[in-house]
Chain A
Amino acid sequence: MERFLNTAGSIVQFENVGLRYGTGAETLSDLSFSLRSGGFYFLTGPSGAGKTSLLKLLYLAQRPSRGLIRLFGEDIVTMPRKRLPGFRRRIGVVFQDFRLVPHLSAFDNIALPLRVAGVEERDLSTPVSEMLQWVGLADRSSARPATLSGGEQQRVAIARAVIARPELLVADEPTGNVDPEMALRLLHLFDALNKLGTTVVVATHDVHLFARVQRAEMLRLDRGQLSDPTGALRNPPRRIDA
């Protein structure tokens, strides 16, 4: 686990972080790790291990019950609330349940982060159209989420998460609803972004994805704690058919 504790050049640092909802038991306990800037990380673990809770801490939907979290070099646990939006704009999120805005078209959903960031309307069309093209939805630009399939919705959600070139991309099961070919294509998109400097954290159960990104590192959660007892997952074998 030492490499996850090396804080030099890190974009995320957790120190003894615990998260408890209400008065229940801790969902996450004693998490101490750091993610280096420009790294590619897979977060894995069984259902209920706390992956989504850990991602929530990363995309600033939740503050920890205890411990220290530094994001982009700043302590976000004690940071005043009014400063958080500026940090959120540096993070792209792919939600497990997509969270597309139902009354907006695919185009407008993808354009949301740019609009939030104050990009002028005249400057939106090109990047959003390119992104629609990239995720294979150029002809579905004006479709509402309800008329899109699960896979198409997921692609819109991913396009929305990456459109603003975030410094940190957090994805919760981003390939859960797409076919293997599209999953690979989306992973290549994450890979391309990562090569441009975006730190990528992907929570997934899909062990086949692990081998697709050679430089990816593994974070394994088990019952709210980081674990990698055998070390085998750190360097997963490549798939035979890869």
Chain B
Amino acid sequence: MKFVPDHFGAAGKRLLPEGRLSGPMPWVIAIMMFLTVLAAAFGLGLGSAAASLDANVGHRITVQIVEANPDARERQAQAALAALQRLPGVVSARRVPDAELAELIEPWLGAGAAQADVPIPAMIDADLTPELHARIGEVRRAVAPAAPSARVDDNAQWLAPLAQLVSALEWLSAALVVLMVGATAATVVLAARAALDTHRSTIEVLHLMGATDVQVARLFQRRIALDALFGSLVGLVAAFGVLVLIGNKVRELGSELLGSADLADSAWIILLGLPAAGVLLAMLVARLTILRALARLL
């Protein structure tokens, strides 16, 4: 049996009339890709923020010396700091300067509160290794003899609701990406079926001349891949424009939390890869749809 290639080569362009961009599919794919890139960027940005939060304060504790007597407070603060610095597993420990404390309480107590008679606790920030952080009781036991008025707060405890929210939003964005992929695939299925109906007579003729299912499927795959490529690139460019605008606004805000949601280089590479993934998805879905439809012919 003679070898028959599974495509029509250059002639494939002519076998199905060119009607690119005339139908809604490229534009629907552009919208899908736009939303997919935004959802993915949202998820990747949140992932970056979560990682940043975890790295910055995930294993941090704050020791407060709640003592009304300023001398005793100062003595205990120094003893607690020394105790922490001696403890294996403490990566760093620092006394929060009074000026920084004053800045922190200013929104609640007003300017000059630190100079008033209001007793402000002394504070020590300490970063722990994950191992020691898991055994935070040891830290409490080490600090307590040196500073009986000390209260050890685990920052992770305070951040847990925020971390849970970030995690939930990450899952939401992942779900949105999956939904977009499903909707894109459904669009391609509908477009492929419509194209099959439009070109049914041509396909029947090719079929009766001995064209294989794969030969016919490749004709449609090529067209749909071109439509998907156009739509994906339009969607990507639009989404990148929006992301750059949002990034500028975030930088203007100067928020540390929002700023930590910046996209890493690897995230940009993933986003740039989405159009290629979209084209591959469209080609695969088109091929399967066409092959299934052709299988119904003899």
Contact = CB atoms under 8 A, between A and B. Distances in A.
Nearest to B212: A85
Interface residues of A, number: 30
8 contacts: A59-B208, A60-B298, A86-B1, A89-B210, A115-B15, A116-B4, A116-B211, A121-B10
Given A91-B210, A112-B209, A115-B11, 14 more contacts: A61-B208, A61-B298, A62-B298, A85-B207, A88-B208, A88-B210, A89-B210, A93-B209, A108-B11, A108-B14, A111-B11, A116-B206, A117-B4, A121-B9
A117 B205 contact: no
B69 interface: no
Interface stretch (A15-23, A29-37, A96-104, A207-215): A96-104
Nearest to B17: A103
A155 interface: no
Nearest to B9: A121
B298 A116 contact: no
Contact of A101 (B2, B9, B205, B210): B205
Contacts of A117: 2, 4, 210
Interface residues of B, number: 27
A121 B209 contact: no
Contacts of B2: 117-118
B215 to A, nearest CB: 7
A121 B10 CA distance: 8
B92 interface: no
Contact of B210 (A81, A104, A116): A116
A116 B218 CA distance: 13
Given A104-B15, A121-B10, A121-B11, A89 B209 contact: yes
A63 interface: yes
Contacts of A1: none
Contacts of B215: 116
Contact of A93 (B4, B14, B208): B208
Contacts of A101: 15, 201-202, 205
Contacts of B10: 121
B3 interface: yes
Interface in A39-85: 59-63, 81-82, 84-85
Interface string A148-190: 0000000000000000000000000000000000000000000
B295 A99 contact: no
Nearest to B8: A115
